[in-house]
Amino acid sequence: MKRETAIIGESLLIAQLKQLALQVAETDITVLIIGETGSGKEVLARFIHANSLRADKSFVPVNCGAIPAGILESELFGHEKGAFTGAVQSRKGYFESADRGTIFLDEIGEMPPETQVKFLRVIETGEFQRVGSSETIYSDARIIAATNKNMYQAVAEKNFREDLFYRLRSVELQLPPLRERGRDILLLAENFVHEFEHKHKIIFEGFSPDATETLMRYPWPGNIRELRHLIESLLVLEKGRYITPEILEKHLVQRNRYKSLVHDPARSEKNELQVIYSNVIQLRQEVSEIRQLLQHLVQTRPVVPLLLPDTSATVPPFTTALRRSFGENGNPASTKERLHSLDEIEKKSIAEALDAYHGNKRKTALALGITERTLYRKIKAYGL
């Protein structure tokens, strides 16, 4: 099987999903794939196509979110010469190109309302008109749509037509986020290691058991795509050397720091959380550096434990808040206790930053690399 059509994963959730995907592949039923960003929606869509009777015809991916609303309609349905300024030639749309194959409509939740009406008709009859033409065209394209949005909310807020939504989700396939896939994380990591060892001609010395633990515990808000990018940069930048938790965390911090600099007004709660965690990881590193420095200066017993809780050796890099927010329950008591001290560090840092900026929330949030909204939430949560 070609790489892009293989679904790597042995977790129960994925095994069941593959089974279901193979069942629907045999039919022409419309499929809606739901999953977080980078969780493999396109990979799953290609898998369905590759296992269908349409496998030798085209798979046409369309990112509805990336095409400006005014252009999407002509991209999907095509246009006639002179239909609008700039339409110097008539052009086939994606639906025509996908005739007898599969059209994959990614980020379907972003489709503008006018296009939704036309699209509903295509799903029901296979018929449409090119922009600027009255001639009806027929396309036998199998439709697979995908979204990382909460479509129920989009429907409730009247941003997405209810009739279209129910028509689309004849079959709904839910892709689990990577953090819920257990040892698939390591299986995927191993595959990416092979891929990038080969691509960059590097021999990788491996992960330490603690670093492996960190991989398993990290929440992967960017899912498989994030894991893949991380493995590539680890191999290349560390030149294949043995990866300890310190090295791994340094890379996670750097990636997240970069992300937090990118202004994204639509930044989701989860990304915000990631920024907080990266700050916690960063704090933890700094604590450990301060401890080393003090140990060096005061050659007797280290004085740091008086100032800060002992976190560097045992505390896992993610807070209880993280666990709570991703709904994981049943942590053993000892883990909970150890995690607690990270909240303390976070509280202390926020309090200190607020002090340093004389209570100015905007400056404090900026200095901490979090949004003001998050800062307000934290202030409330910690009773600062």
Ligand X SMILES: Nc1ncnc2c1ncn2[C@@H]1O[C@H](COP(=O)(O)OP(=O)(O)OP(=O)(O)O)[C@@H](O)[C@H]1O
Residues that bind ligand X (CB under 6 A): 7-9, 35, 37-43, 106, 148, 188, 224-225, 228
Q: 79 is in the binding site of which of ligand X, Mg ion, none (Cβ under 5 to 8 A by kind)?
A: none
Amino acid at 251: H
CB 4 to ligand X: min, Å: 6
106 scored as a contact of Mg ion (CB under 5 A): yes
Residue 52 binding: pick among Mg ion, ligand X, none (C-beta 5-8 Å cut-off by kind): none
Residue 109 contact among ligand X, Mg ion, none, beta carbon within 5 to 8 Å by kind: none
* Identity of the residue numbered 317: P
Residue with Cβ nearer ligand X (78 or 221): 221
- The listed partner (ligand X, Mg ion, none) that binds 225, CB under 5 to 8 Å by sort, is ligand X
Span near Mg ion by CB under 5 A; candidates 71-79, 106-114, 120-128, 235-243: 106-114
Report, in Å, the least distance between residue 32 CB and ligand X.
13
State which residue has the least CB distance to ligand X. Answer: 40
Nearest distance in Å: CB 29, ligand X? 20
Residue 41 or 228: the one with the smaller Cβ distance to Mg ion is 41
CB 99 → ligand X: shortest distance, Å? 23
Which is nearer to Mg ion, 37 or 335 (by Cβ)?
A: 37
CB nearer to Mg ion: pick between 38 and 316: 38
For Mg ion, the closer of residues 36 and 106 by Cβ is 106
Q: Name the residue nearer to Mg ion (CB basis): 46 or 179.
A: 46
> Of residues 21, 24, 34, 42, which one binds Mg ion by CB under 5 A?
42
The site for Mg ion, by CB under 5 A, has a size of 3
Q: Which is nearer to ligand X, 172 or 344 (CB)?
A: 172
List of residues 6+ apart from 214 with CB closer than 8 A: 245, 248, 249, 316, 317
For residue 177, the partner it binds in Mg ion, ligand X, none, with Cβ less than 5 to 8 A by kind, is none
CB 218 → ligand X: shortest distance, Å? 16
Q: Which is nearer to ligand X, 61 or 78 (CB)?
A: 61
Q: Minimum distance from CB of 221 to ligand X (Å)? A: 12
3-class DSSP string for the chain: CCHHHCCCCCCHHHHHHHHHHHHHHCCCCCEEEECCCCCCHHHHHHHHHHCCCCCCCCEEEEECCCCCHHHHHHHHHCECCCCCCCCCCCECCHHHHCCCCEEEEECHHHCCHHHHHHHHHHHHHCEEECECCCCEEECCCEEEEEECCCHHHHHHCCCCCHHHHHHHCCEEEECCCHHHCCCHHHHHHHHHHHHHHHHHCCCCCCECHHHHHHHHHCCCCCHHHHHHHHHHHHHHHCCCCCECHHHHHHHHHHHHHHHHHCCCCCCCHHHHHHHHHHHHHHHHHHHHHHHHHHHHHCCCCCCHHHHCCCCCCCCCCCCHHHHHHCCCCCCCHHHHHHHHHHHHHHHHHHHHHHHHCCCCHHHHHHHHCCCHHHHHHHHHHHCC
Residues 6+ apart with CB under 8 A from 84: 74, 131, 132
Q: Point out which span in 4-12, 38-46, 173-181, 309-317 binds Mg ion (CB under 5 A).
A: 38-46
Residue 106 burial (10 A CB sphere; 0-12, 13-18, 19+): buried
Fill in the per-residue mask, 49 to 88: x = in contact with Mg ion (CB under 5 A), - = not in contact: ----------------------------------------
Q: Which residues bind Mg ion (CB under 5 A)?
A: 41-42, 106
